[in-house]
Amino acid sequence: MKMHRIHFLPHDRKIEVPDGQTLIRAAMEAGVHINASCGGEGLCGKCRVIIEKGRVAEGISEKLSAEDIENDYRLACRSIVCEDIVVRVPVESEVDVSVLNVRSGPRRTARIREMDFDELKEQGLFSPPMEKKYLELPAPNAQDHLPDVTRLVSFLKLNHGEHSLEVNLPVIRKIPDVLRAQDFRITATLARPVHEGGKTRIINVQPGDTTANNYAIAVDIGTTTVYGQLIDLVSGKVLSQFGDFNAQISYGEDVITRIMAAEKPGGLQKLHEVVIGTINGIIRRLIKRAKVDADEISTLTMSGNTTMTQLMLKVNPRYIRRSPYVPAASLYPPVKAVSLGIELGDHVQALVYPSVSSYVGGDIVAGVMGSGMYRTEELTLFMDIGTNAEIVIGNRDWLACAACSAGPAFEGGGIQFGMRAARGAIEDFSIDPLTAEPMLMTIGNVRPKGICGSGLITMVATLFENGVINNLGKFDRDLQTARIRENQGVWEYVLAWKDETQIDRDITLSEIDIENLIRAKGAIYSGCMTLLEEVGLSIGDIQRIFLAGGFGSYVDLEMAMVIGLLPETDPEHVTYIGNGSLMGAKMSSLTNRIRRDVVDVLRKMTNFELSETASYMNHYVAALFLPHTDMNLFPKLKARLEERKAIHAGKRA
């Protein structure tokens, strides 16, 4: 087969691919990430690349202007390799990993909550899942021929009261040599049963005393990003953490395109391998950063949404996207990490958080566990906002949950200049109320490249409160500013002029973008209202709001209340919990109590399918305004707007 050489810039990566392959697949194979919101279908137009040398076949779409094409821009997903080429990935098409690992707390945050080791112990929730015991066994002799494993098990029984022990073959294989390495002095790692009456498993044996070194790894598998933590099981401290993009991104940005990719021949295997690759990369970094011995890692806990969980476990997710939307399983048994391809010791079992339904997954269950909402008396609203928003309402007595599809607006999708919360994203915004001139702040304080979800909310809220857009999300056509203009029949606001940007084009916010945002926030708000109604409560009954998720951590609370994404409430009652999924995975690494409780929580949690709830559509239509048709739900905003109106009226008067 004829092969062609591709040279990717600015990465300086070279790869040979067969004639006829698409450019986006070549990039994947070269390890060059290119945005592909639509999963390579030629729809989103985000995978723009510049062909600097040579040419490709096809590669053209209505997403490219005549000028773009003239300047050798092509869509990578539509381009067919037919000769040697040099390809430049422009800055706006790049996935930038650096921002993931900047430890930045949420801005204007009420409170951040994360339970620690001492709190676990104080609350009687501490029940170590993995314990190491140092043992000095008697050596065999002419009168004592006990088999090695029997010797170990009997000693633990007689001297440590361990009555129900299990040892599996890989550990049996190690025992004879480990016993003799330091004269029958060894450390045994015991995995405690989650449920009473279960057996304690001896999962590892090591020569000498290694009781000081005992670690766990927790991993949150997000559709976009995967985060890991390495936790010291002796001190309870997080020794290192690291995040990376889920390498599955190249197969589509959302779960539906991923499922479709998994349905292609060999697709499930590929998507499985790719995410395991991401997890392995993170684990390697965690171990390197924490400077621990990989053999001392005793346990791995993972959480992710239902699709991510099934792809990671290589369980075909095809029925998740088909009515009646049934996942393969809820609870998964612990499984050997190595059997999944995860590069940890043969003794490490991977625990995976269970899912409630196809769209309320293990990440949400982990958030409920990590946030502690399942143990509190306070009536709590838990929200994880992303492409799909999940809502949980309840307390220690009952829990109700639902998912709603918000669309990708909060993650930059469906927004012309939308992007993820990465370097160059506009994340804060204000305007001069008189001139309507903007003031922008970007992540990393560089020239803007696009708009991230939290920036979008702040922008729309600010424009709305300042009367630049009305409650339908339409620009005030009468405002005297060059920033507002009609462009090919669509009204838009120019956030940054071409020469102020990194991308050599005007960055704008259009009425279509605003409409997409309103639809997204409307879906979430109406989801909350419907779920509350289903359980016979109203928004006023909610005593606490937990905001989880990367987006939830960046969003400006007051701005979110202005656009009607969140119910209006005292910001003191809102708690950011950050990555609830990772927090839950960490908690399960630290204590069996959480591992046990999760089964109860799962039993308590009632799932509501909003699409089958008659009132959902009414709530949704009512929420397709800024902030809502019923302004009485937003009394403080109502008062401010009336005050502002009065001032304007006064000015005009």
Residues forming the site for a second copy (CB under 8 A): 140-142, 144-150, 166-169, 172-173, 175-177, 180, 197, 313-316, 318-319, 323-333, 335, 339, 355, 357-358, 607, 609, 612
Q: What minimum distance in Å lies between the beta carbon of 332 and a second copy?
A: 7
d(CA 620, CA 624): 7
189 versus 569: smaller Cβ distance to a second copy: 189
Q: Which two tokens stand for residue 520?
A: 């997204």
Q: What minimum distance in Å lies between the beta carbon of 442 and a second copy?
A: 43
Q: What minimum distance in Å lies between the beta carbon of 526 and a second copy?
A: 20
Provide the sign of the torsion angle of the four alpha carbons 292, 296, 301, 307, taken in this order: positive
Residues 6+ apart with CB under 8 A from 499: none
600 versus 642: smaller Cβ distance to a second copy: 600
144 DSSP 8-state letter: B
416 versus 607: smaller Cβ distance to a second copy: 607
Q: What minimum distance in Å lies between the beta carbon of 494 and a second copy?
A: 47
371 versus 388: smaller Cβ distance to a second copy: 388
Helix (H, G, I), strand (E, B) or coil at 106: coil
288 versus 318: smaller Cβ distance to a second copy: 318
Q: What minimum distance in Å lies between the beta carbon of 580 and a second copy?
A: 22
Residues 6+ apart with CB under 8 A from 250: 24, 27, 28, 33, 34, 36, 40, 274
251 versus 332: smaller Cβ distance to a second copy: 332
20 versus 138: smaller Cβ distance to a second copy: 138
Q: What minimum distance in Å lies between the beta carbon of 326 and a second copy?
A: 5
The H or E element spanning position 340 is: none
d(CA 131, CA 191): 7
d(CA 628, CA 590): 43
d(CA 463, CA 510): 12
d(CA 335, CA 143): 40
Q: What minimum distance in Å lies between the beta carbon of 139 and a second copy?
A: 9
Residues 387 and 549: beta-carbon distance below 8 Å: no
165 versus 436: smaller Cβ distance to a second copy: 165
Q: What minimum distance in Å lies between the beta carbon of 441 and a second copy?
A: 44
502 versus 530: smaller Cβ distance to a second copy: 530
Q: Alpha carbon of 558 to those of 458, 462, 541, 544: distances in Å?
A: 9, 10, 20, 16
Q: What minimum distance in Å lies between the beta carbon of 145 and a second copy?
A: 6
The H or E element spanning position 224 is: none
d(CA 447, CA 133): 56
Distance of CA 114 to the CA centre of its chain: 17
110 versus 335: smaller Cβ distance to a second copy: 335
178 versus 393: smaller Cβ distance to a second copy: 178
Q: What minimum distance in Å lies between the beta carbon of 612 and a second copy?
A: 6
147 versus 540: smaller Cβ distance to a second copy: 147
Helix (H, G, I), strand (E, B) or coil at 27: helix
d(CA 381, CA 361): 17
Q: What angle do CA 74, 412, 436 make, to 5 degrees?
A: 105
Provide the sign of the torsion angle of the four alpha carbons 172, 174, 178, 180, taken in this order: positive
Helix (H, G, I), strand (E, B) or coil at 522: helix
Which of 373, 39, 94, 400 is closest to 223 using CA atoms? 39
d(CA 411, CA 245): 14
Helix (H, G, I), strand (E, B) or coil at 327: coil
